[in-house]
With several copies, the nearest count.
Chain A
Amino acid sequence: MINSDFLSSYIKKERQAKPILIMAHLVLGYPDFKTNHEQVDVMVKAGADIIEMQIPFSEPIADGPVIAKANQLSLARGTKIQDCLDFAQKVTTRHPKKAFIFMSYVNILFMRGIANIISQSEKAGIKGWIVPDLPPEEADVYLAECAKHKISPIFIYAPTHSLARLKTLANYSKGMIYAVARKGITGGKTNFNQELIERLTIYRKIAKKPLAVGFGISQAEDVDFLIGKADIVVIGSKLIEVLDEGGLTALDLFLRKIRGNH
């Protein structure tokens, strides 16, 4: 099992050289695929280690306003699942040293056919999947297909979880555990405080897997704070805001600033 998990090995390897890895998020088809290509190039060059690509959905219930709006606009432009798979194929080929994962909502997988989309993902060079509205209890087929196609199914830790729940999720999650830093949904303000430190300590003990921390990371200091406490920082809404406001140059600058510090 452990050997078949590309993502774990990749993260372990990268972490030897870096105090913390960066997972950069984008919404596919927003603002458009051409920009997405350049976006990924910038991310990779500026030092992102993992690229999380969201396939847009009309009801992104776990996303905050910024990402929800990006989903909406991407769909309004006509983005299809196949476009996303084709895009993945291209960027994974172009950046073979980086890890790419998909994120989307369960209906996208369900309507395409779970077996179909997981196998297609593998072919497109994708290493992991995050499906925020698919708890392990509902995920039999998904888990089986992921195993079959060497895709790491990544589950999420929430601040409200009981120890029992943390253990259950650790059992199912591969590659990493994605910990939500604050209550609520993506894109708001997080308190990087003692309570968070304690939580992350517990997570580490239970998960025994690389720990990614996301939601609300918006500046270099946040990343600093997490060094030693997590393996990966996830930057989502902030990157879209930066891109929306300052374009690719601003994105590059922002990521370099974060990366440059470490």
Chain B
Amino acid sequence: MKLKYDSYYGSFGGRFNPEILHGVFTELTETFEKVKADNNFWLEYEKILKNYSGRPTPITEATNLTAHFKGAKILIKREDLNHTGSHKIDNVVGQGLLAQRMGKKRLIAETGAGQHGVAVATIAAKLGFSCTIYMGEIDAKRQRPNVFWMEKLGAEVIEIKSGSRTLKEAINEAFRDWVNNPKDTHYLLGTACGPHPFPSLVAWLQSIIGKEAKRQMIKDYQKLPTKIIASVGGGSNSLGIFQEFIEHKEVGLVAVEAAGLGVDTDNHSMRLTANKGTVGIAQGYKTLFFQDEEGQMRKTHSIAAGLDYIGVSPILAYLVEKKRIDCAAISDKEALIAAKLTMRKEGIIPALESAHALAQAFKEAPKMDKKDIILVNLSGRGDKDIFNFGDLFFDKKWQTFIKQKAANQIESKI
């Protein structure tokens, strides 16, 4: 079972674009085909990630968590150590190079929580692109620190004040921008979703995670992991680590979705889990969506901004259908508890997204043998979540600090 990086994966994927996007997608697909066949592209890609982002990221043995759960050995792939703090950097570096090959001068992107926006602004600065980030007004309000950094990195952040004023409005606006500037602009989509070739392109770029992990496992542990667990927003970090192991049937692959307030509530972001998502076509591609019986998208919820999404990578939908990947769901509360435990036991502050994968590992480890190995993909660091952690742990001192900051806003001395 080898992925072909095609437009369809089984019945999932495709390209359902307004005609106006036909040209840009044709150009993008052709360039993708070209660089995929060009080994030099991959070498340049690896080199930048090495020298700029510190790849390969290490695998840390979570000795204390392993001892705590008394089961499988827990290993952690440390995507949090990447430049900008998550696996997102791979995709933006890769598409940045692609855009250079296409002779583009400008990168645009949508962003929800702001992580992808910061990554795009970063790579735009490094590779010399001008940069516009679209962000719903509500998201921009919630994620002011990220907006602040995007601007300081030189990006223009446009806040969308129409419609839902969240991610989907930002996507529409970004597409609108793209079709108005097809010559000089590349739209840098943030995950393995959307119309072909984005799912293939992003999955291919992120496959560097699994390639590294396989090499590291063989070198340091002389075997492959029993299970690999990763959280699923759009699917880029999970596919990133899974792909290299798909052919190795003996390796279990677990994709973890956000169960939000609970699997039995309506406030979640489950799509892969049986009976939660149904096949639909929206935002340009066919996959499992969290929608009603008439095809209207429903409101998702997760404590982790990056998991709070209506669709999912068609590649994941396919691999789950084929039963090559299992899926699981973790609630907000379980994720928070897992995050706390990981901080205390391993000194690692996980992103709330990644905490979902950890929580699933903590459920599975005690049931497994001590000879088994669970490899968790820790997709990002949790510093970015301080406002969430602070609010959610109901930390009194933190709240007082914020109040005082507000009271004493000082003027620039300079």
Residues of A at the B interface (CB closer than 8 Å) are: 57-59, 61-62, 65, 68-69, 72, 75, 80-81, 105-108, 110-112, 132-135, 137-138, 155-162, 165, 169, 180, 183-185
Per-residue CB contact flags for chain B residues 141-183 toward chain A (1 = under 8 Å, else 0) read 0000000000000000000001110001001100110011010
Q: CB distance A58 to B172 under 8 Å?
A: no
Do B295 and A110 have beta carbons less than 8 Å apart? yes
Chain B residue contacts of A111, Cβ below 8 A: 278, 280, 291, 293-295
- The chain A residue sitting closest to B168, CB to CB, is A59
Cα A72 to Cα B172 with chains together (Å): 14
A68-B162 in contact (CB<8A): yes
* Closest 7 pairs between A and B when the two form their complex, measured CB to CB: A111-B295, A158-B20, A65-B162, A107-B295, A62-B18, A160-B23, A58-B297
Measured CB to CB, the closest approach of chain A to B95, in angstroms, equals 21
Q: Number of residues in B with C-beta < 8 Å to the partner?
A: 34
Q: How far is the CA of A69 from the CA of B284 in the complex (A)?
A: 20
Q: Does B164 contact A133, Cβ atoms closer than 8 Å?
A: no
Complex: A155 Cα to B17 Cα, angstroms: 12
Cα A157 to Cα B22 with chains together (Å) = 10
Q: Which of B19, B180, B281, B289 has the most CB of A within 10 A?
A: B19
14 A-B pairs, CB-CB below 8 angstroms? Answer: A59-B297, A61-B171, A61-B282, A65-B162, A65-B163, A105-B282, A133-B284, A155-B19, A156-B19, A156-B20, A158-B179, A160-B20, A161-B23, A180-B19
Determine the distance from Cα of A157 to Cα of B18 in the docked complex, in whole angstroms: 10
> Quick one: given A132-B18, A158-B19, are A61 and B162 in contact (CB under 8 Å)?
no
Docked CA distance A80–B294 (Å): 8
Main secondary structure of the interface of B (DSSP, over half): mixed
Q: Decide: B296 and A72 in contact? CB cutoff 8 A.
A: no
Q: Which residues of A contact B294 (CB under 8 A)?
A: 80-81, 108, 111-112
Contact A134 B296 (CB under 8 A): no
Cβ of A169 and Cβ of B19 under 8 Å apart? yes
Given contacts A72-B164, A158-B23, 12 further A-B contacts (CB under 8 A): A57-B296, A59-B168, A107-B291, A132-B18, A133-B18, A156-B19, A158-B19, A158-B20, A158-B22, A159-B20, A160-B179, A161-B19
Does B96 interact with chain A (Cβ within 8 Å)?
no
Is B73 among interface residues, defined by CB-CB distance under 8 A? no
- Which residues of chain B have C-beta atoms less than 8 A from A137's C-beta? 15
Q: Is B283 an interface residue (CB 8 A)?
A: yes
Chain B residues positioned under 8 Å from A135 (CB to CB) = 15-17, 19, 22
Report A-chain residues with C-beta under 8 Å of the C-beta of B18.
61-62, 132-133, 156, 158, 185
Would you call B14 an interface residue if the criterion is a C-beta within 8 Å of the partner chain's C-beta atoms? yes
Is B320 among interface residues, defined by CB-CB distance under 8 A? Answer: no
Tell me which residues across on chain A come within 8 A of B281, comparing CB atoms: 106-107, 110, 133
B20 pairs with A183, CB closer than 8 A: yes
Q: How far is the CB of B298 from chain A (nearest CB, A)?
A: 8
Q: Which B-chain residue is minimally distant from A65 (CB atoms)?
A: B162
Chain B residues whose CB sits within 8 angstroms of the CB of A65 once the complex forms: 162-163
Q: Distance (Å) between the CB of B182 and the closest chain A CB?
A: 6
Report yes or no: B24 in contact with A185, Cβ–Cβ below 8 A: no
Interface residues in B191-243 (C-beta closer than 8 Å to A): none
Contacts of A108 in B (CB 8 A): 294-295
Complex: A61 Cα to B173 Cα, angstroms: 9
- The smallest beta-carbon distance between A75 and chain B, in angstroms, is 6
Q: B164: which A residues are within 8 A, CB to CB?
A: 72
CB distance from A129 to the nearest CB of B (A): 15
**Contacting pair B280 A110 (CB below 8 A):** yes
A189 to B16, CA, bound (A): 26
Kindly identify, within residues 74 to 126 of chain B, every residue whose CB is under 8 Å from any CB belonging to chain A. none
CB distance from A71 to the nearest CB of B (A): 9
Given contacts A75-B296, A105-B282, A160-B182, are A138 and B14 in contact (CB under 8 A)? yes
How far is the CB of A176 from the nearest CB of chain B, in Å? Answer: 14
Q: Which of B16, B172, B179 contacts A134 (CB 8 A)?
A: B16
B-side contacts of A105, CB under 8 Å = 282
Report the separation of the CA atoms of residues A108 and B296 in the bound assembly, to the nearest whole angstrom: 8
Q: For residue B310, which residue of chain A has the nearest CB? A: A59
A61: chain B residues at CB < 8 Å are 18, 171-172, 175, 282-284
Contacting residues, chain A, for B171 (C-beta < 8 A): 61
Distance in angstroms between the alpha carbons of A184 and B179 in the assembled complex: 6
Q: How far is the CB of A105 from chain B (nearest CB, A)?
A: 7
Residues of B within 8 A of A138 (CB): 14-16
Contact check, B295 vs A161: say whether CB atoms are below 8 A apart.
no
* Chain B residues near A183 (CB-CB < 8 A): 20, 179-180
Q: How far is the CB of A170 from the nearest CB of chain B, in Å?
A: 12
Chain B residues whose C-beta falls within 8 Å of the C-beta of A132 in the assembled complex:
18-19
Once the chains are docked, how many angstroms separate the CA of A57 from the CA of B297?
A: 8
